Structure 1
Amino acid sequence: MSTPEQEPFWRSKSLEAMTRDEWESLCDGCGRCCLNKLVDDNTHEIHTVAVSCKLLDLETGRCQNYKHRRKFVPDCIMFTPKTLHEHLKWLPDSCAYRLLHDGYDLPEWHPLVTGDPNSVHEAGYSVAGKPIVSEEELSDPSDWFDYIIRS
């Protein structure tokens, strides 16, 4: 949060100029980037499925072992200012990193705007309380086609 006379850091700094803490605070905790994806071999279209990474806590929308996640999920994509442009396609449209990269502001429900970490859940933009299953329950990716999220 910022005072009225001070611009918030996400409006006054580029993604590359942000401190590590500022960068990390952009994550709204929705958990949507932790939903698995299927890529169509013919069209290369990415389909998000209602099957989460095994580390995602479906009640909070947060990674259960964020600091060491790559130890348990080696293909977990780490978003950094340097690699963001390579991985934008994997992020949901509402993601702060994607929005700021594309020149938009944070949405009104974002926790940095509201000061409330639960605002993302209350606005319905998180996986919390949604009909999502863990990949541990549905380990065969060929079954994931039944879980494609249609918007």
Structure 2
Amino acid sequence: MIIRDLIADDFPDALRLYQVLTRDPVPVTTDPAAFHAVLDHAGTTIVGAQIEDRIVAMITLHILPNMTSGGRAYALVENVICDPEHQGKGIGKAVLQAGLDKAKAKGCYKAMLLTGEARGARGFYESLGFSGHEKHGMILRF
């Protein structure tokens, strides 16, 4: 297994993983330009796990500038996905930990994420040190 930042050529595998993740009423876009826009966005990285020639897990990591906490940045983790046939093998944990390590190396003082109650992933995130007790996540959809 290789943990690495994704590149534009990884679009087909990324699209397959996004389609596993997405439960929204609006389907994931199949436009490669949207994937390129994420890759090109300053402060954003998609970290993935490659087994043989296939990306089997990935996360999106956004590092955001900040005025509080001494001006230290914070990280937002989004779109944590592991191919169902590779779940339970520590791959998703390795990818997320690699993203968190990047955030620490960039001087972030915290990392945040939201997870849906229906996905049953809370224990997975707690095993990496995340806590749902300190703050309450809220969403406003447009």
> What TM-score do you get using the length of structure 1 for normalisation?
0.25
Rg (Cα) greater in structure: 1
**Higher RCO (CA 8 Å, separation ≥ 6 residues):** 1
> What TM-score do you get using the length of structure 2 for normalisation?
0.27
